[in-house]
Amino acid sequence: MSTTLPVADGRSVRGYARQLARRHPRLLWSALALHVAAAVTTLAAPRLLGDLVEAVETGTTAGHVDRVMLVLAGFVVASAVLTRYARYVSQVLGEQVLAELREDFVSNALALPVGVVESAGSGDLLTRTSRDVDQLGWSVRWALPEWTIAVVTAVLTFGAALSVGWWVALPCAMGVPALVVGLRWYLSRAKDGYLRESATYSRINATLTETVEGARTVEALGLADEQVRRLDDDCRESYWAERYTLYLRTVFFPAMELSYLIPTVLTLLTGGWLYTRGDVSLGEVTAATLYVQMLIDPVDRIVSILDELQMGAASLARLLGVAQVPDDREVTGRKPDDEKLDAHDVRFAYVPGRDVLHGVSLDVGVGERLAMVGPSGAGKSTLGRLLAGIHPPRTGEVTVGGVGLVELPLGDLRGHVALVTQEHHVFAGTLRDNLALAAPGADDDQVLAALDAVDATGWVSSLDDGLDTRVGSGGRALSAAQAQQVALARLVLADPHTLVLDEATSLIDPRSARHLERSLAAVLDGRTVIAIAHRLFSAHDADRVAVVEDGVVTELGSHDELVAAGGSYAALWDSWHGRG
Ligand SMILES: Nc1ncnc2c1ncn2[C@@H]1O[C@H](COP(=O)(O)OP(=O)(O)OP(=O)(O)O)[C@@H](O)[C@H]1O
């Protein structure tokens, strides 16, 4: 079942934007001051031209005209220089804000509870990380500075127009109703429209990643047609969502064009009428018309960039939404007294209302080898994940040294108990990076010692660049066995006292398996081990065996005790042993 991650509301988005702006007061004010200065220099032209028209009308010298033109050229140059710096400072500000946004988003995404990521699916998160971050990047780098410039220019241009004569306010005001009505109509619909559009991209991504990741299953079960049909449905929904936002734009923009024309036409008409009455001069009518004409460009930019900003706000809302997922752990600062791991009356459900663990209690002794066995789907892996603190229990608690695993910061938790599976990821980066992420302060000697402990020195020393070798996506491909050794070496570095071993799959070929078993044995040495034994022979060597059936522990004791008791384990052992 897939749920979507939350989307932040308007208040949180505005609050966050204010907080970001407050972090850079110097850059913000410098950018604004430069934009104001640039706009002011641009505004000199109509005034000078108006005066010139008047001077020509009343009679002037060529020298005067030349001087005015020289001053005009000076203003044009000053305006160009100021605009260049204003844009530069805005871009620097935009880049900084964007970098902070990305960092905040990455740390929020990494702090997401695993259960939430699993149930939301990777598609939604992927769309937010890619498309929404890109959209926001565009808004912050381009739309926001341009919009600020446009607002500053519009306000100052309007002020300059009024300075010619108060009568100019009237034609400008006549354009306002159409503008306001159009804007209100558009803004009340646009945000939801864009959010819906983004949600459809998430669904397309989710279906695509699911199909690619599960390609084998899709093929094996002949689900290709079904997946294609689902993707078609997703694309259709996306098409209609895009058509809707396109419709909004096709109504909105022409309406805006009309509202821009009204003031210019009315200024000319009013100015002409006032001139014939002798109330204003020709120079004033020229300057006023030029200013009103000059208003069109910034107002148009304000309005059309609003569209970009809406999309940016929708993306920001989706990025901030990731931070609103409630944390599934609460760090209390309590410190474990010892290394004993206990589960008490633990219940857990992946899907609300459908518990897969029904009150499991288990005390694991320090240094003990505990094997968990049971039928497929009984809940062994789930219990293992709870014992490793990956999922918090729905009720009951899992504690280490008397402190709940959910009370420990994640970094500390991994120093107490870690889950070992045969699914391991090699991150893109150097071999050193891949190992050091388990213990950020580790030096090369410690990293090499960890590789030595898992018997990996042989292949690592044969690498030309040693620990600097780039591995993972785009780098040198490691074999499955080597990747597993890297994962084991990470564990040596993290040095947890307890390991939960889920040997669920057997991906490794038998030749490397023997080698790996030695590596694993070195890692297990001296630690408490809870092994989920999908093969019974590993249970035989354990100190105690826990039998998990239908989400509860039904038997607990040593191999010999359980065989003697003649319960489920004895039956399993008999059938397995008989086969063996
Ligand atoms: N991510 C998940 N979302 C929903 N249900 C799940 C999830 N993982 C496991 N389950 C369900 O929880 C139950 C217990 O599964 P679990 O994997 O813990 O059993 P198991 O004993 O480890 O089985 P196996 O030996 O086959 O791995 C099963 O019914 C399974 O379908």
Does the pLDDT of residue 187 top 60, yes or no? yes
Does the pLDDT of residue 330 top 70, yes or no? yes
The answer to the question of residue 318 being in a domain is: yes
Whole-number pLDDT of residue 507: 46
Residues 192 and 248 sit within 8 Å (Cβ to Cβ): no
Residue where a domain terminates, one of 270, 292, 324: 324
Residues 540 and 457 sit within 8 Å (Cβ to Cβ): no
Is there a single domain that holds both residue 359 and residue 482? yes
Percentage, residues of the chain above pLDDT 90: 20
Q: Which domain holds residue 493?
A: 341-579
Is there a single domain that holds both residue 192 and residue 280? yes
Residue where a domain terminates, one of 324, 357, 377: 324
Question: What residues flank ligand 1, with Cβ below 6 Å?
Answer: 118, 350-351, 356, 374, 376-382, 504, 534
CA distance 129 to 243: 24
Percentage, residues of the chain above pLDDT 70: 96
Is there a single domain that holds both residue 107 and residue 139? yes
Does the pLDDT of residue 346 top 90, yes or no? yes
Whole-number pLDDT of residue 234: 93
Does the pLDDT of residue 580 top 80, yes or no? no
Which residue's alpha carbon is at the smallest distance from atom 25 of ligand 1?
376
Is there a single domain that holds both residue 319 and residue 425? no
**φ/ψ (deg, to 5) at 346:** -85, 130
The answer to the question of residue 38 being in a domain is: yes
Residue 269 pLDDT class (50, 70, 90 cuts)? very high
Answer yes or no: pTM beyond 0.80.
Answer: no
The minimum-distance atom of ligand 1 relative to the CA of 379 is 18
The label of the residue with tokens 């990731």 reads: 322
Is there a single domain that holds both residue 320 and residue 384? no
pLDDT, average across residues 26-34: 88
The answer to the question of residue 2 being in a domain is: no
Angle at 34 between CA 30 and CA 40, to 5 degrees: 145
CATH number at 298 reads: 1.20.1560.10
Is there a single domain that holds both residue 424 and residue 542? yes
Whole-number pLDDT of residue 241: 94
Give 345 Cα–ligand 1 centroid separation in angstroms: 19
User: For residue 241, which of 275, 196, 271 has the smallest C-alpha distance?
Assistant: 196
The minimum-distance atom of ligand 1 relative to the CA of 532 is 22
SS3 per residue for 354-373: EEEEEEEEEEECCCCEEEEE
Residue 156 pLDDT class (50, 70, 90 cuts)? confident
Give 380 Cα–ligand 1 centroid separation in angstroms: 8
The answer to the question of residue 333 being in a domain is: no
CA distance 153 to 138: 22
The answer to the question of residue 3 being in a domain is: no
Is there a single domain that holds both residue 205 and residue 98? yes
Is there a single domain that holds both residue 357 and residue 209? no
**Which of 380, 382, 386 for a ligand 1 pocket mutation test, highest count of atoms within 8 Å of Cβ?**
382
Top-ranked range on mean pLDDT: pick from 157-166, 306-315, 353-362: 353-362
pLDDT, average across residues 331-344: 89
Does the pLDDT of residue 519 top 80, yes or no? no
Give 502 Cα–ligand 1 centroid separation in angstroms: 13
Whole-number pLDDT of residue 345: 94
Query: Residue 394: CB partners within 8 Å, gap ≥ 6?
Result: 347, 348, 349, 355
Give this complex's ipTM: 0.96
Which residue's alpha carbon is at the smallest distance from atom 3 of ligand 1?
350
pLDDT, average across residues 288-316: 85
Which residue's alpha carbon is at the smallest distance from atom 2 of ligand 1?
350
Beta strands in 318-411, from DSSP E residues, in sequence order: 341-351, 354-364, 369-373, 395-400, 403-404
Query: Residue 359: CB partners within 8 Å, gap ≥ 6?
Result: 345, 346, 347, 396, 552
The minimum-distance atom of ligand 1 relative to the CA of 551 is 14
Does the pLDDT of residue 185 top 60, yes or no? yes
Is there a single domain that holds both residue 56 and residue 116? yes
The answer to the question of residue 5 being in a domain is: no
Give 381 Cα–ligand 1 centroid separation in angstroms: 7
CATH number at 553 reads: 3.40.50.300
Residue 459 pLDDT class (50, 70, 90 cuts)? confident
Residue where a domain terminates, one of 324, 359, 377: 324
Is there a single domain that holds both residue 165 and residue 312? yes
Residue 561 pLDDT class (50, 70, 90 cuts)? very high
The answer to the question of residue 385 being in a domain is: yes
Does the pLDDT of residue 221 top 90, yes or no? no
Residue 502 pLDDT class (50, 70, 90 cuts)? confident
The answer to the question of residue 313 being in a domain is: yes
Whole-number pLDDT of residue 514: 67
Angle at 242 between CA 239 and CA 246, to 5 degrees: 135
Q: How many domains does the chain have?
A: 2
pLDDT digits (tens, 9 = 90+) for 352-374: 889 999 999 999 999 999 999 98
pLDDT digits (tens, 9 = 90+) for 461-488: 888 888 888 888 778 888 888 888 888 8
Whole-number pLDDT of residue 248: 92
Query: Residue 114: CB partners within 8 Å, gap ≥ 6?
Result: 390, 391
8-state DSSP, 544: E
Whole-number pLDDT of residue 303: 81
Is there a single domain that holds both residue 468 and residue 525? yes
List, as own/partner pairs, every contact residues 504-513 make where C-beta atoms lie below 8 angstroms and the sequence separation is at least 24, other chains included. 504/381, 504/421, 504/422, 504/532, 504/534, 505/422, 505/423, 506/422, 507/422, 507/480, 508/422, 508/480, 508/481, 508/484, 509/481, 512/479, 512/480, 512/481
Give 371 Cα–ligand 1 centroid separation in angstroms: 18
Residues 40 and 156 sit within 8 Å (Cβ to Cβ): yes
Is there a single domain that holds both residue 364 and residue 481? yes
Whole-number pLDDT of residue 505: 45
